[in-house]
């Protein structure tokens, strides 16, 4: 799964990188993006590509409460085109979620640091491109409005990250990873006229082994209140082994589901 990531590029930088437009104010840089945080994603808006505001964590059109989004941050590539919960959105409402990189937690072992109770803890890793360019992560989006609210209530736009099996670089840390789209796939992925499920699903594959690199970081990232650049600083082996306590473990979130209809964007 993908449960935390880094987003520090400005909206203008993201728009320039993807050849998109942007209007409005962007969220501040965030070195510890967590579920329900405000983020930016690239979509097709009918006039070309545009950078838009989203909340991370899909809120289904039928949801009674926006809180459901906190448990719907990821969608599995292997089943996204088959499950009724996702296939409609997969065919119509796709996006690219730019990331500087993402965090994953390596399982504890005999050499892991221990917490205050003497138990070994997971080691957070920061994973990013070897050239430090943004990751173009495949996503799906939805829109939601409180049915108990006024008829002119604003729409909430939300999104989820699509994950796939880990490549050889990621496998020692975790068995899943975000789908990272190459530039050659951006146009097809974002084109709303593309509804060939097999062609779309063929894009949802692990990234090349040589694309990513990673390093250990402090367990300070476990606390969602920590948002600063120190979170991605490399952690030396000696420092990691000598750690005696950690912040709270990151929330273990599960995949939810939803059914989509025709979703508005600019309302």
| Minimum mean pLDDT range among 15-19, 71-75, 210-214 | 71-75
The reply to whether 155 falls in a domain is yes
Domain holding 9: CATH number? 3.90.1680.10
Is 138 a member of any domain?
A: yes
Would residue 129 count as lying in a domain?
yes
Query: Which pLDDT score is estimated for 58?
Result: 86
Please report whether residue 247 resides in a domain.
Answer: no
Instruction: Examine residue 9 and state whether it is found in any structural domain, yes or no.
Output: yes
Q: Is the pLDDT of residue 136 over 90?
A: yes
User: Which residues are designated catalytic?
Assistant: 2, 104
Residue 222's domain spans which residues?
A: 4-241
249 domain-assigned = no
Instruction: Please check whether residue 171 lies inside any domain of the structure.
Output: yes
Question: Is pLDDT of 230 > 50?
Answer: yes
CA of residue 173 relative to chain centroid, distance: 17
pLDDT in tens, 172-206: 999 999 999 999 999 999 999 998 999 999 999 99
Structural domain total, the chain: 1
* Mean pLDDT for the stretch of residues 64-74: 87
What percent of the chain clears pLDDT 90, i.e. is strictly above it? 65
């Amino acid at each position: 799964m993908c449960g935390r990531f880094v987003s520090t590029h400005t909206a203008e930088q993201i728009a320039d990188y993807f050849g998109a437009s942007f209007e409005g104010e962007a969220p501040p840089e965030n070195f510890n993006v967590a579920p329900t945080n405000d983020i930016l994603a690239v979509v097709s808006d009918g006039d070309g590509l545009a950078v838009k505001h989203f909340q991370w964590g899909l809120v289904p059109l039928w949801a009674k409460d926006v809180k459901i989004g906190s448990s719907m941050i990821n969608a599995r590539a292997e089943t996204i085109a088959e499950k009724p919960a996702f296939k409609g959105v997969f065919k119509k409402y796709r996006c690219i979620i730019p990331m500087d990189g993402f965090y994953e937690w390596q399982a504890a072992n005999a050499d892991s640091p221990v917490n205050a109770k003497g138990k070994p803890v997971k080691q957070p890793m920061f994973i990013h491109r070897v050239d430090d360019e943004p990751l173009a992560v495949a996503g799906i989006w939805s829109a939601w409005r409180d049915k108990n609210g006024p008829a002119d209530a604003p729409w909430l736009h939300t999104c989820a990250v699509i994950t796939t099996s880990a490549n050889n670089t990621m496998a020692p840390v975790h068995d899943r990873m975000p789908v990272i789209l190459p530039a050659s796939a951006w146009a097809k992925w974002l084109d709303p006229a593309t509804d060939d499920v097999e062609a779309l699903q063929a894009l949802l594959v692990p990234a090349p082994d040589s694309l990513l690199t990673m390093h250990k970081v402090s367990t300070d990232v476990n606390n969602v209140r920590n948002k600063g650049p120190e979170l991605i600083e490399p952690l030396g082996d000696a420092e990691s082994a000598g750690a005696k306590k950690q912040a709270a473990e990151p929330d273990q979130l599960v995949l939810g589901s939803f059914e989509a209809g025709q979703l508005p964007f600019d309302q």
